[in-house]
Amino acid sequence: MEKMSETMALSAMNDGAFWNLDKFDGTNFMRWKDNIRWMLMALNISYVLDPNLQPIPEPHDADTEQIIANRKKSEDDELMCRGHILNTLLNWLYNLFSTTHLQGKYGMLLKRSIHRRKKGTKKFIMFKFYEFTMTDGKSIVDQVQDLLLLITKLREVKIIVPDALQVGAIMSKLPPDWNKYRKQLLHMAEDISLQDLLKGIQIEEETRK
């Protein structure tokens, strides 16, 4: 039966039944959790994660056809639920949980691992943010988007960068070829908003082209 269930899971993956969700990397837990929850609810297998769910009973000679069918469905649903979750984990998390059952200590182990990972991830993202530099010869708009992506990742680990600091960071990281444009911004009488800065950079880049 286990071999048959594994075959069903592999067939479902090959048929595209496994949803294409963002991989969980230890920093996007809330978004990942919500996506997983809605997916499992849509597939009617979210009950597998219920902490109060009774374990699947062992087979018995006196089992009726209905009990056998219910057991098979429970086993298939657990395998499918587990497969969907593991399919959205990065390698380091997959290796950690690929041999662990969903019930019992699964959720606790995942949370502990995420917590440890977050500590290292937070420092890594902060370092990437401070060290981020823009270079000539590449689209400034694209490089600004890369910087904003880092800021989004900081937000996911509970580090909020206010708009005013985002404006300052973007201006300070513009490449040397943009020094004249940066001076114009610094000499403006009023503070520039983040949205106005992004629009201004886009217009300036298009004008240069």
**Long-range contacts made by residues 43-51, C-beta under 8 angstroms, separation at least 24?**
43/80, 43/84, 45/77, 45/80, 45/81, 45/84, 46/81, 47/77, 48/77, 48/78, 48/81, 48/82, 48/102, 48/103, 49/81, 49/102, 49/103, 49/107, 51/103, 51/107
Strand partners, 89: 24
pLDDT in tens, 148-189: 888 888 887 788 888 899 999 999 999 999 999 999 888 887
User: Rounded to whole angstroms, how far apart are CA atoms 105 and 101?
Assistant: 8
User: Rounded to whole angstroms, how far apart are CA atoms 16 and 20?
Assistant: 9
User: Rounded to whole angstroms, how far apart are CA atoms 24 and 106?
Assistant: 16
pLDDT in tens, 61-110: 888 888 888 888 888 888 888 788 878 877 766 665 555 554 444 455 45
Residue 5 has pLDDT above 50, yes or no: no
The whole-model pTM stands at 0.45
H or E segment and range at residue 201: helix 194-208
